[in-house]
Structure 1
């Protein structure tokens, strides 16, 4: 018996809110539904939270429904209001560049073939020629100001101040739903729970303007065990662009997932069957030291975002840093990324091993470094060091890199400066 897509989303913990659940279930069962999810180009790359939305869109498409992926060329010029304060507006040229970057990213997660082929749309196409009088008459008249003031983010900003620009953002986003309903018959919008107010405002606009009933569904915010979130505003964004976060660092973030969250992430971020995830959870609980669930999670998600080659490179790099694989077999970019995660320092040519160990923070002092060498606990490129005064120059790998290790688990890197 095939599982209803809504049941699967719920079982994976992917439904935080929805409008009339029974009506949504009936419409999803009746035939293909056209749905959309939107992304504002407020940065040059999407991140972990956006990835969850893309994978949710893919799940709905695999169930036979038609996705529209909206990249907000107009809403990105404004920016959704945040609790922390007013956004800095980016130039039109910057936003246009980010639109194209994000368009290229989203295209790898949905299929553009078949009867329910995806389509990427840009809301600048239907807003750029709208004049202010028509906007106020046709859109603004449907938005009671008292309802807008009740929105949580607006209420939190009233004392510190919020511009009319950000205050009006909800009108632009709601207009997207109305326009996509008119153009494509779109009847479902998905998004993160932090967007629930904007999403339901769009539902209401379609009802007021067209007398039609449409749906909304939001996914929960992804948090760590302590409740804090991953996000670009917190400085912990898990970027999808390999130039902003190396595939190795991306892999390492997932493999470091907390035991209390890793099974939840497996359900939400992978397409593994729920039965297989349950089996992984049992095996992982029986052998916690092997981090079975984390390794599977890291491999699955990294492969989706960066490809299987990067998974193999990340696994090889992790092994090589601790002497379980050959360092010389690693691509320089992968080794550099791995050492950057471990801690990479720059040292001048002629630096002794003692000084390098100290500079890298593997020991507290030069005397401690000498003691580590004497006791056989210091390694350069996974080879035990015997002479503490030997220079690191003769050990450099491609790119002037040197792998330093103290004991079995403490690893760092040094990059020898070229004269």
Structure 2
């Protein structure tokens, strides 16, 4: 089975520029390919997960990945899928974010002995001569054709800056530059990058008279079309300091039943026979598949020990077994005892605001242990604590532990 067959069977592939050529090429040769990451934050998030998995599958099949940090393009901003212009970053921000990305990518990609390359397009984009760039690259782009691209159509009504209009040329030039430097033959990206990828493929064929290819993978969405990786707290990050391993585990443990098989196929390396077996489970048995999904995904991102501890914490909270020490825990000073429970919950961040806490109480969604809190004026009293700790439950599945500082 070729890597294209693997990616198709697992549900990755959305579009291919030259399907038969790509299948033959990847089956017979080992190529260099690239995926771009805009360093607009100091951590990757769940939205990048498919790109990381696709790169890992390709490398396992013997192909060499280039992880391209968009240090130059991040100074401009990609309009794809965006309703507003992106915030401008400093060079120091971009450098710092790129370093953080590499640490996270190393869980998936082997960079030793030249098996993978980490590149930054600032290396060539920041030194470009604008007139020379227009003469060499801009001459090959049709404005009429560019304006038909989905990424631009979405922005035209609200306003598209000339700065962002250049993004497509810059990304196409990245592909050309990587082709020249590393013999890069293929770009992979999310399906929202299809228009940009086509331009890069076309530019290499025009400038170098060499074949080049593009492949897009499906975006990670729920069965009803919503993007995955969003919670009430915001994005689900791959950095343990931004999204704890426990919260990461719980995100996957609580996904809709209809999304379990797809996520097992896309986000784990479990054999497809096992994926299909787990995906066929119904009713209460689907929870078995969800637990396996949550463990496998957390293990990939945070390591086996963190996955095991997160699993233990979940069992402790939901099944009455395991170690509560692994549950999300906040520590308070003794002086907060006998103050308003609502104030303590807001102060510790268990609720995002006092108004959220009031809504929870009014709607019957806040518990201390097994006791429902019904009064917004309830005080945090010493008798709520057992062994110096108490358990707060928001809704059905969101638990936190409060302990008193000794």
Shared fold by TM > 0.5? yes
Q: Is residue 298 of structure 2 the alignment partner of residue 302 of structure 1?
A: yes
Alignment of 1:317-356 (within 5 A): 317-322=313-318, 324-325=320-321, 330-331=325-326, 334-336=327-329, 348-351=336-339
**Can you list the C-alpha shifts for 1:28-66, whole angstroms capped at 9, x where unaligned?**
122111111110101111111212101101101111111
Closer, same or farther: CA 389–37 of 1 in aligned 2, 3 Å: closer
Closer, same or farther: CA 314–171 of 1 in aligned 2, 3 Å: same
Closer, same or farther: CA 127–233 of 1 in aligned 2, 3 Å: farther
Following the alignment from structure 1 to structure 2, what is the Cα–Cα distance between the partners of residues 147 and 280? 45
Give unmatched runs, 5+ long, in structure 1. 381-387
TM-score under structure 1 normalisation? 0.82
Query: Do the aligned residues in 2 keep the contact of 1:71 with 1:103 (CA within 8 Å)?
Result: no
Following the alignment from structure 2 to structure 1, what is the Cα–Cα distance between the partners of residues 362 and 162? 54
Aligned-residue offset at 1:352: 8.8
Following the alignment from structure 1 to structure 2, what is the Cα–Cα distance between the partners of residues 74 and 352? 50
Closer, same or farther: CA 112–350 of 1 in aligned 2, 3 Å: same
Alignment of 1:242-253 (within 5 A): 242-253=240-251
TM-score under structure 2 normalisation? 0.85
Following the alignment from structure 2 to structure 1, what is the Cα–Cα distance between the partners of residues 271 and 253? 20
Q: Is residue 312 of structure 2 the alignment partner of residue 316 of structure 1?
A: yes
Secondary structure at the counterpart of residue 329 of structure 2: helix
Query: Do the aligned residues in 1 keep the contact of 2:34 with 2:188 (CA within 8 Å)?
Result: yes
Aligned-residue offset at 1:290: 5.3
Closer, same or farther: CA 169–295 of 1 in aligned 2, 3 Å: same
Alignment counterpart, residue 135 of structure 2, candidates 137, 159, 164: 137
Q: Is residue 63 of structure 2 the alignment partner of residue 47 of structure 1?
A: no
Following the alignment from structure 2 to structure 1, what is the Cα–Cα distance between the partners of residues 48 and 363? 44
Partner in structure 2 of residue 111 of structure 1? 110
**Can you list the C-alpha shifts for 1:94-147, whole angstroms capped at 9, x where unaligned?**
222212211222222111246x71111111112222111121111111111111
Moved over 6 A (4+): 232-235, 352-362, 416-419
Q: Please report the RMSD computed on the Cα atoms of aligned residues, expressed in angstroms.
A: 3.7
For these two proteins, the number of residue pairs brought into alignment is 390
Following the alignment from structure 1 to structure 2, what is the Cα–Cα distance between the partners of residues 112 and 258? 35
Following the alignment from structure 1 to structure 2, what is the Cα–Cα distance between the partners of residues 298 and 135? 47
Give unmatched runs, 5+ long, in structure 2. 346-353
